[in-house]
Structure 1
Amino acid sequence: MQFGIFTVGDVTTDPTTGVTPTEARRIQDTVAIARKAEEVGLDVFATGEHHNPPFVPSSPTTLLGHIAALTERIVLSTSTTLITTNDPVKIAEDFSVLQHLSGGRTDIILGRGNTGPVYPWFGQDIRQAMPLSVEHYTLLRRLWREEVVDWEGEFRGPLQGFTLAPRPLDGVPPFVWHGSIRTPGVAELAAYFGDGFFANHIFWPASHTQRMVELYRTRFEHYGHGSARRAIVGLGGQIFMRPNSQQAVDEFRPYFDNAPVYGHGPSLEDFSTLTPLTVGSPAQVVERTLGFREYVGDYQRQLFLIDHAGLPLQTVLEQLDLLGEEVVPVLRKEFAVGRPADVPPAPTHALLRERTLAEAGAGTGPDTGTRS
């Protein structure tokens, strides 16, 4: 199982000091956080994609390419790449380049995004969000898998004799997760192609996430990719830790109360009850996270949000120390207990390359899913 962190890249005033980082500082801090994540033994660093203030990650592959040069082991991903408003050709090119730069330490979480104005900014209609997702992703798969692509669709100009350059590293496209907080159609799309489904388990109650994952698993099996428990599932989560739980609550409260997304709304206690937000000791984070398996089954990836709402860099780095020293080692051990042998591991480039070579040897041709 993989453990890591994701960032939304917000530039938020620290409510305890009144200090607002510059955009340059926030970007450099994100790089430092990614490097620290590798240092403490995490498996994945992921960044979101936003094109509006107060966020800075408008070019995720640029950021991840820089981080790739400064790291050696950690998998570099997006927590959302906007499949709706990005050109599939450009996504294919950018992530192929990132694969080569990182030595295969690259995968991608595709999503629709949650900022309505981004659609007209990039010439699209939000009312076509799911049709855009389906058409763009169908083309993206072909670009990564076919040497020459002739294509015509509804939402972009046709392609004639197009060849992607560079081709995916080792002939293996990046593994694709389809990410969503609330949209069943995204789970259906992931299931149809036999891709991963990332339920960003941060704002909604456990019952909602349970329904989304159950839908994905059921449809994954329906489409012939194997049993439901062989489906590839990832979860998001939010945490804040201190050695003492009351210390964690007291320190995090002003950040929660003033956060751009949920500030000035439910109390910290109510939000922590209604959603997976966990503010407390490392032991409490371990206990809450282990409980996710009770309603989503055995899964492959857990990412935590730890650097938002104006938290200073030093505090985030301290969170990473606690994750690496007191949380993730316990989670690795406990999640392995009772895990069925037929539940697959988290996909990596090395595993996908082995599968591609095996399929080529069997004469079935390379693929990382079963739909073309």
Structure 2
Amino acid sequence: MEIGVYSIGNRTPDPTTGRRPGEPERLRSIARIAEHAEQAGFDVFAVGEHHQPPYALSSPVALLGYLAARTDRLMLSTAATLLTTNDPVRVAEDYATLQVLSDGRLDLMLAKGNSAAVYPVFGRDPVDAGELMAENYALLRRLWSAEPVDWSGRFRTPLRDFTSVPRPLDGVAPYVWHAAVTSPGTAELAARHGDGLFANHIFWPPPHTARLVDHYREEYARYAHRAPARVGLGGQVFVRPRSQDAVDEFRPYFDNGPVYGHGPTLEEYAATTPLAVGSPAQVVDAVLGYRDYVGDYDRQLLLIDHPGLPEKTVLEQLDLLGEQVLPALRRVTDDRLSPPNPSKCHVPGRGRFPSGRAGQHVAP
């Protein structure tokens, strides 16, 4: 299993000091975190895309290009590229360029996005999100697999005898993941095209994520692809050598976090979602516990530079995770002689969509 970290580039104030990092500081910090993640032994680093304050990260391809020149081993990824508002021709060209320059250390995570406000910024209507995603992805695949391309659709001007450049490295397009939090339609799109599903289940209880992954695997099997289905999961951790120290230090960040603060307590949230706060052994147990409800899976990305945590603390997290958590996780997850059977994993309450989640204050 690949294990990595990701950042969404938020500029949340540190609740213990009241200080909010500026945009240049935050972008440079994310780059340092990525370099440190490689040194600590992580496999993947991924960055999100947002187009409004308080985020600093609107151009993942630019940051990933910078990181490609400053790292040697890390797989670089988006988390995620908004294919509903980005032009697929631009996406095809940008990420093929980055794939070539990184010598193939790139894959792409696609999503519709979770903010309707971004659509009119790019001349789109959020009502069209599902159709935009399907049409733009069909064109992106076509641009990477064929030359020249003739194309007409509902949402953009036609293409005639067009070839995007550069071509994908060695004729193989970047691997594509589809990010989903609540949408079975996204799982179906990933399954139909033989792509991976990234279930970013940081806000939802296990039964919901189990249903989403089950649905993807069922659809994937129906299409009888040659390659196996691939599942990735999000997660949140905060680790210190002593459990109580981790809880005490993280509590003000949780209590004031814009995405989950001012709702359930830290203890309630950790009991009902994948959030893991504690000692290295407790974090290992929590992450390995994800397999209890999704079975064996392929990629684990951890969100650790949130919400308002200072860079020094994030780098300390990477060191502790690299020294004590990653080796323990790999001892288990790299042993694939008898992987869990997803069809036999049982989670109480598993059924069809939708499911309640932990904390109604959390935005999907």
Q: Distance in 2 between matches of 1:167 and 1:336?
A: 34
**TM-score w.r.t. length of structure 1:** 0.90
What code does the residue aligned with 2:321 have? L
Distance 2:333 2:243 in 1: 23
3-state SS, counterpart of residue 35 of structure 1: helix
Amino acid aligned to 2:287 = T
| 1:178 equivalent in alignment to 2:155 | no
Query: How far 1:323 sits from its partner (Å)?
Result: 1.3
Establish whether residue 254 from structure 1 lines up as the match of residue 224 from structure 2. Answer: no
Amino acid corresponding to residue 277 of structure 2 in structure 1? V
Residue by residue, what CA displacement relative to the aligned partner does 1:246-291 show, whole Å, maximum 9, x if unpaired?
1000000000111111111111111111110011011111001111
Confirm or deny: 8 A CA contact 1:179 1:198 kept in the other structure.
Answer: yes
**C-alpha contact 1:4 1:302 (8 A) present in aligned 2:** yes
Q: Deviations over 1:101-127 (max 9, x none)?
A: 111100011001111100111111111
Q: Which residue of 2 aligns with 1:286?
A: 284
> In structure 2, what residue type is equivalent to 1:53?
P
1:338 is displaced (CA, Å) by 4.8
How far off its partner does 1:335 sit? Answer: 1.4
Task: Report the CA distance between 1:336 and its aligned residue.
Answer: 2.8
Conserved? CA contact 2:296–2:340, under 8 Å: no
Check 1:338–1:107 CA distance in 2 against 1; reply closer, same or farther (3 A cut): closer
**Alignment match, 1:306:** 304
1:89 Cα offset (Å): 0.4
8 A Cα contact 2:296 2:339, kept in partner: no
Q: Distance in 1 between matches of 2:84 and 2:290?
A: 30
Q: Structure 1 runs of 4+ off > 6 angstroms? A: none
User: Retained in 1: the 8 A contact 2:77–2:109?
Assistant: yes
> Matched residue of 2:190: which SS?
helix
Task: Specify the alignment match of 1:352 in structure 2.
Answer: none
Matched, 1:331 2:314: no
2:193 matched to 1:214? no
Paired position in structure 2 for 1:58 = 58
- The counterpart of 1:239, out of the listed 233, 237, 240, is 237
CA distance in 2, matches of 1:22, 1:341: 45
CA contact (8 A) 2:291 2:340 kept: no
Gaps of 5+ in 2: 342-364
The match for 1:263 is 261
* Aligned positions, number: 341
- Structure 1 Cα separation of the partners of residues 338 and 74 of structure 2: 26
Is 2:237–2:304's contact at 8 Å kept on the other side of the alignment? yes
| Map of 2:190 onto structure 1 | 190
Q: 2:292, 2:253 → 1: CA distance?
A: 30
Secondary structure, counterpart of 1:104 in structure 2: coil
Please give the TM-score of this superposition, normalised by the length of structure 2: 0.92
Equivalent-residue separation in structure 2 for 1:269 and 1:303 (angstroms): 22
Using the alignment, how far apart are the partners of 2:268 and 2:36 within structure 1? 32
User: What SS does structure 2 have at the residue aligned with 1:239?
Assistant: strand
RMSD: 1.4
In structure 1, the residue matched to 2:81 is 81
Aligned to 1:358: none
Kept in 1, the 8 Å contact 2:295–2:340? The answer is: no
* Cα 1:177/1:89, change in 2 over 3 Å: same
Q: Take 1:294 and 1:339, find their aligned partners in 2: how far apart are those partners?
A: 17
2:353 match: none
Give unpaired runs (5+ residues) of structure 1.
Answer: 344-372
SS in 1 for 2:6: strand
Find the aligned partners of 1:332 and 1:308 in 2 and give their Cα distance.
25
**For 1:48-82, what per-residue CA distance to the aligned partner results, in whole angstroms no more than 9, with x for missing partners?**
00001000110000000001110001000011100
Q: Do 1:220 and 1:226's aligned partners in 2 also have CA atoms closer than 8 Å? A: no
Shift of 1:341: 8.0
Q: How does 1:349-360 map to 2 (within 5 A)?
A: none
Q: Displacement, 1:337?
A: 3.4
- 1:128, CA displacement in angstroms? 1.2
Superposition pairs of residues 1-372 of structure 1, within 5 angstroms: 1-225=1-225, 230-340=228-338
Amino acid at match of 2:11: V
Question: 1:166, 1:68 → 2: CA distance?
Answer: 17
- Native 8 Å contact 2:194 2:225 kept in 1: yes
Write the distance in 2 (CA, Å) between the matches of 1:336 and 1:64.
27
SS of 2:178's partner is strand
The code of the aligned residue for 2:88 comes to P
For residues 341 and 164 of structure 1, what CA distance do their matches in structure 2 show?
A: 41
C-alpha offsets along residues 182-215 of structure 1, whole Å, 9 cap, x if unaligned? Answer: 1110000000001000000100000000000000
Letter aligned with residue 311 of structure 2:
L
